Amino acid sequence: MELKTRHLIFVYGTLKRGFTNWHRYLGVAESHGAAHFVGAAQTVDAFPMVVRPPQMAPTTCAPVMMDLAGTGSRVLGEMYRVDDRTLEALDILEGVKSGAYYKRTVAALVLEEERREAEPPPEKRRRTEPADWLVGQTLSCTAYFFPASEQLLALELRACYTADQHALYTPKAINEQILALCKPASRADADATHGLATRQPKPMATLLLRLLPGDDLLGGLRAFAAAHGVEAAVVLSCVGSTATTTLRPAGVKAPKVLPGDKFEIVSLTGTVSASAHHLHLSVSDADCAVRGGHLLEGCVVRTTAEIALGVVEGVSFSRPHDPRTGYDELSIDEV
């Protein structure tokens, strides 16, 4: 099976999280799994970046970065991995397709610990910083460069586009063509949105966790994954017991609380990331009767839960909506 192409894109202006064009376009693509935040990034080379004043056309007060390596400062921004449709949407937004404004050029970027200027709302927040193994790595990434001019180079050169500068931005009307490209609309688009396999074997590291009596099994596991910046993991093993046990049986929307207060964990299996999970739990009662279903919050650890997680390096798990099934399904994406 041939996987759909994914592109690394560096954004440094109005497409950064919390800013106007992130809310309008890139954040929409992110919510559908068509774009994934990789991490905060900084250019290896210095480039001149300026914010156009209101009197300079186009009069949006947007930032521009010019392709003059060695001039200005190393520019701070964010790196995303996007699919073909989202790249096309960004090309339209930046005027690449019309040839009017920006051009796409490959630049070297270093992944960094995050330096946020704008905080995304909780429902849009995917992760706060790149995985430890990515920090400090240099990646080749596509960036949008504006044509240099003496008029632009005479403006104050900046290293980072901030929220205060963005407050001056005057956006154009929402472009429905761009917005449509950020949303999967067909089976073919769903294929582009969902990565279905890795192209080659990936190394795996191991994280170990023990939850204590009274801990919520799902809540504790999710908090652990978030604290360690886990992008893709599988449950290798889990042994322990539960008291109150809450599951969702197959084909049933409502949670089911199992009667009784002493259950042995027979198995816990599934996938986990800092932003999503899909886990099934089986437990047995005093008569050795086994019941199982989707793990929900409300499964309380009785004595212990000893968990081994296999963390897959170079892979990110997300769960965008898949119109083929009607559910949020796993997307396996190489980073």
Residue 30 and residue 126: Cα distance in Å, rounded? 9
Task: Tell me the catalytic residues.
Answer: 94
Q: Are 86 and 15 in contact (CB under 8 A)?
A: no
The size of the chain, in residues, is 335
Any alpha helices (H) in the chain, and if so which ranges?
20-21, 27-31, 84-93, 150-153, 163-166, 176-181, 187-193, 217-227
Number of Cβ within a 10 Å radius of residue 131: 21
- Would you call 23 helix, strand, or coil by DSSP? helix
Rounded to a whole number of angstroms, the CA Rg of the chain reads 23
Architecture in CATH for domain 6-193: Roll (3.10)
Q: Taking the domains of the chain in order of start, what are their residue ranges? A: 6-193, 204-312
Q: How many helices (H) and strands (E) does the chain have?
A: 8, 19
The pLDDT profile of the chain, 335 residues, written as one tens digit per residue, is 233 447 889 999 999 999 999 999 998 888 777 888 888 999 999 999 999 999 888 889 999 999 999 999 999 999 998 888 899 999 999 988 766 678 999 999 998 865 544 444 443 344 344 445 567 778 889 999 998 999 999 999 999 999 999 999 998 899 999 998 887 655 555 566 677 888 788 999 999 999 999 999 999 999 999 888 898 999 999 999 999 999 999 888 899 999 888 999 999 999 998 878 999 999 999 999 999 999 999 999 999 999 999 999 988 888 887 777 778 889 888 77
Amino acid code (one letter) for 269: T
Indicate if 204-312 has the same CATH topology as 6-193.
no
pTM over 0.75: no
- Would you call 130 helix, strand, or coil by DSSP? coil
Amino acid code (one letter) for 333: D
CA angle 119, 124, 130 (to 5 degrees): 70
The tokens describing 301, both together, are: 């650890």
Which CATH number applies to 204-312?
3.30.1330.80
Residue 120 and residue 162: Cα distance in Å, rounded? 14
* Cβ partners under 8 Å of residue 136, min gap 6: 110, 111, 112
Residue 323 and residue 31: Cα distance in Å, rounded? 14
Residue 118, pLDDT score? 44
Residue 278 and residue 332: Cα distance in Å, rounded? 13
Residue 86 and residue 33: Cα distance in Å, rounded? 10
